[in-house]
Amino acid sequence: MRGLRLATVLIGTLAASHANAFGWELTRGTDQGVFFASAGIPGIIGFRCGGQFPGQSGAFPMFYQDSVTSPGEAHLGLFLGAFSSHYQSEPVPGAAMQIGGYSYTLRDIAYSDYYGEFFQTFSTTGALLSALQTGAPVTLLENNAIRGGIPTQGMGAAISGMINYCSAAWAGQPLPTITAETATMHLNAPTATTIRARAHLTATCRAGHTIAPEAFLTGDLDGDGQLDTVVAPETYSCNGSNPMCGAMMCGTPVFLSSRPGAIPDDILGNGPRLEIAADGGVVLRITQRCADGQFGTCPEATYRWDR
């Protein structure tokens, strides 16, 4: 019954996303001698690619591992609940995408507990990504049964931008210009700091963890033009418990783009959210204890970082 309930939730999410015209997002960047790019709709579907620049050597940072691809390849991720058999490690039977009336098999796609999604790798010049770049309607299938529709607003441009960025990096050519799109606040945007945050949570609980799509809040908190990530701790579960929350308060991890590494800043408080300040910058607002030790009757604390 648990699998059926989650599957039903996803169908509703996909339909609602289409109705609300949620668009695909493109994120690109470089860090510590590596490049990465992703295109997708947070909490539903995403493609990503990346690697080390030609001539670079050394270990690839842990928090970019799920973006590492061979030249000419991109990882596809479909999030929890995409298929009825999400709790199984075996390949999903008959998994496919129907794009513009044609069916494209997803081969041996299966749910990965490590990545927290259905995971598969495809050629950037293959039939699937070429079809998606046309922007044609997309339907997700399982054993010829319709699982739901994938919103397509901005899909072609996002996937093309991801491929062009990684292709240039693989070839050692100048990278396409990163525009202000990466500095815009998006809920759940698949950014470099979100990758670090997901790796941090995975390392905290290797088995049995649940990361909700709404767990990652992103915005430019430190003013460097790149997206930072705040983890909403109440959305996280490790084997049925929450290691980030105590009886009354939670530790809220903050991953800053201007402060690379796997260790986040940690803010004590509940219910974090990001807001646009009067000067156009992004701030973190969070409920903390009042002077008398109580909650809820005092002004929220507001945080902003100066690099």
Predicted pLDDT at 59:
67
Predicted pLDDT at 229:
86
Both tokens assigned to 82: 């995409």
Predicted pLDDT at 123:
95
* 226 vs 170: CA distance, rounded Å: 22
* 95 vs 142: CA distance, rounded Å: 5
Has residue 227 got a pLDDT over 90? no
Both tokens assigned to 129: 């990504």
User: Amino acid identity, residue 139?
Assistant: T
The answer to whether residues 101 and 151 touch, using CB atoms and an 8 Å cutoff, is no
Bridge partners of residue 251, in order along the sequence: 268
Predicted pLDDT at 11:
25
pLDDT in tens, 17-58: 222 335 788 888 887 788 889 998 877 889 999 998 887 776
State mean pLDDT over 278-299: 74
The lowest-confidence range among 104-118, 142-156, 170-184, 247-261 is 170-184
Burial 172-184 (b: 16+ CB within 10 A, else e): eeebeebeeebee
State mean pLDDT over 267-291: 81
**Distance separating the N- and C-terminal Cα atoms of the chain:** 48
User: Amino acid identity, residue 194?
Assistant: T
Domain boundaries, the chain: 2-178, 183-303
* 248 vs 267: CA distance, rounded Å: 14
Has residue 262 got a pLDDT over 50? yes
Cβ atoms within 10 Å, residue 225: 12
Has residue 226 got a pLDDT over 60? yes
What is the largest distance, in Å, between two alpha-carbon atoms of the chain?
64
Has residue 3 got a pLDDT over 50? no
Cβ atoms within 10 Å, residue 116: 19
pLDDT in tens, 93-146: 889 999 988 899 998 888 887 777 888 999 999 999 999 999 888 888 888 888
